[in-house]
A and B are shown apart, each in its own frame.
Chain A
Amino acid sequence: MKRWVSAAIAVWLAPGAASAQGLDVAIAHSYLSAKSLGQPATFFLVGAEHEPTLSEIDGSILLRGGWGASGFWETGARALAGSARTKPERVYGAVARATWDLDPVGLTIASEYEADGSFAVEKGVLSAELTPQGGPRGLGRPWNRTVPFRWRPWLGAGVGNVFDASGSEDPERDSFFRAYTRLEATYTPTHWDIGAEGTLWAVEGSVGTRSHARGTVGFEIASGVSFDVTGEIGRQPPSFLYEQSFKMGFGFHHPFERGTKPPPANR
């Protein structure tokens, strides 16, 4: 079965956890970008009079380990699900990827399996994406000492295969190629995290582009716990169904970087 091709690539990419320089784990909104990894996984309850209370969970878990001097590997899963979303609107994914510091850019090669909630749409994507590590003002670092605003662009491309029949709104059929650019921006005054992330896909097929934008305002209640307001609009893989939502809920975030002292070098 073709879906096992992804799994095989995933296993290949998760190289010798053996070479272990230790493992670390993160729980966050999504593993799709650094911005998303910096945001909490969220749990929302949606209520209305005379209506059952619905829920939504949007989160990911990612394991990371070292790979040689200039790289590291990651593997994980994500879910955007819950009773507040219809099955076609739900998104599940699993990824294995490796990243290298190619100063002045970071390169990530990823293999991802993505599916909707009813598994009517299933895809495997092998992609590469680049981000400059530094550059103009605000790229990866604060705009200045008093304005904690920073941004980061990404450029990526992927080839994939549709394992299962695509939905009618999905421009990707059978084998496909997609290129994308993502821009993320964050403003982080004390206790607050105000962020926006927009992605534009150029998709092979009759329809040229798809886009998705997400904005979040988070207030840190306690370490790792926040109150979040999120708005989303647009279409995103795997099914590219149009969505528009505005939600409030609680977020949980366990970032990478345990903050332990680095081990002394072996001498």
Chain B
Amino acid sequence: MSARKKLLNPTSVAALVGSALLLFLALAGPSIWGPAADTTDVSSRLLGASAAHPFGTDELGRDILARVLTATRLTLLLTLGSTLIALAGGVVFGLVASILPKHPRRLFTGLLDILLAFPWLLMVLFFTVIWGATATGAMLAIGFAGVPSFARLVYNLASSVSGRDYVRAARVVGVGPVGILLRHVLPNIANPFFVNAAATASVTLLSFAGLSFLGLGVQAPAYDWGRMLQEGILRIYINPLAAVGPGIAIVLAGLVFTLVSEAVAGTRGAGFRAVAARAAGAVTLASRRRESVRDSAAPVGDTAAEITDLHIAFRDADGGVVERVRGVDLRIARGEIVGIVGESGSGKSLTAMALAGLLGDDAVVTTASHRFDDIDMAGALTASDRARLGVELGMVFQDPLTSLNPALTIGRQLTEVPEVHMGMRPRAARARAADALTAVGIPDAATRLTQYPHEFSGGMRQRAMIGMALTGAPRLIIADEPTTALDVTVQRQVMGVLHRAQEETGAAIVFISHDIALVSAFCDRVIVMKDGRMVETLDAERIREDAQHPYTKALIACLPDMTSDRTQPLPVIPPELVPEALDDAGPVGVRQPSGASAHDQEVPV
């Protein structure tokens, strides 16, 4: 974001205006309102709010509004003092800790953590005992009580930077710890540092108000907002504004510091931008929805699932809409194994999730038709539809470490479908779950059911996921890169389990992968996706011979085999095929005659 844009957003403007106002009051306040604030007038003591005294008067007849304005200077000076102590102490301790050797460093951070366990206010009170209940004492107490948390922050920031590659590189070429600190660490922690410094100032202001309010900070005849609050609350029945006035001043000043912190941090997409985004998103949604009603009566026959003219879009940060899947037609026959290959971002996983009807509300999905067996997935689902989907549609995801619920036992997760959708009693559901685990090759199923996912290895978790699909009566299993996160030997086991599951249940499988070799070995049919479109559909057994689209050919060419020339570098996807260079080429249909001139170019390998 440009510096100009950064200055022009509402948060920054409010922060600037607020800071300017505070600065003005601190500089000029005492000379403008000071006389009125100190003028005693016994005849007008303890008055309520009036035009002459908007906040009323105190017990000596002094104008409370004038006193609130005058008190800005002292309040801010004390806040500044405490904040500087906390920052200076935090920077020194935090940076020193970050360059200490391992053992003293751990001792030091351990000590910091112990201090941090105690609420700030308790530490302040403890220090106040030492330095006394005066303005200076309170300033020191609040400042020093803030040191541990700021030191921890600086330490965390510094050590997060010092682990990075460029700092390691500097160390390798012999830059000393101090040089690294000055040249590499400090510049890189500057932004979070200032964000937190402003936040600290906000907290300090409120703490100071609290301490003065307790009578342990500023002492009469001097006064800050906290002190005024303490005096005001005693007379809250006579004049509530005597307490509420200084209270408002404290809250507003705290808000200004918070805004400064927010502005330094950079903008969050709130306010005007969100409104703009919503307006833009709503317009696009309305225009796209109109297309989605046609061809709703497709033949059921031997189709396991079908989706036609699938478009998936997401709103982007600037309020526009990005289309990630652009018109995909997918029909899965009963018992068929279909592979979808493509690189990251080709839309293959989104297509699979849309087929299962599991995309979140942030995705804008439109289809011409979308069926699972005889269920119309585009319309509203009835309770019995949902039960059937739970039983008949199985999902296996990429990362088995995250696809099982860590807080529930494997047994709990595998008995849900039989219990909820198939009306089984717990005992029968448990037996079914144990059978499913045995079927995916996990021995001692009864014990395994009582365990949690973290007690399973990655490969076992993936098999348990397949077992979860088997606890129902699957007609279709959608496996979204089920082996990508696993190492090669485990991959083979999982593929074997998936294959057996297919043979035993006769379920169709949609298998998504970026590995064209794996897909062509396992599937009947291979679909190649790129940039949200299907570019080609191929018979798995004749994939090398039949591939027409340059992208598919390039994918195949990248596969090393026994005849690969090992003196040559490994082939890569040529750059003209990588980004959206193919947009104009368009997809190659299944039965489209080969040799369209645009696709004839030889792919250099």
The answer to whether A and B come from one shared complex is no
* Interface residues, chain A, with chain B CB atoms under 8 Å away: none
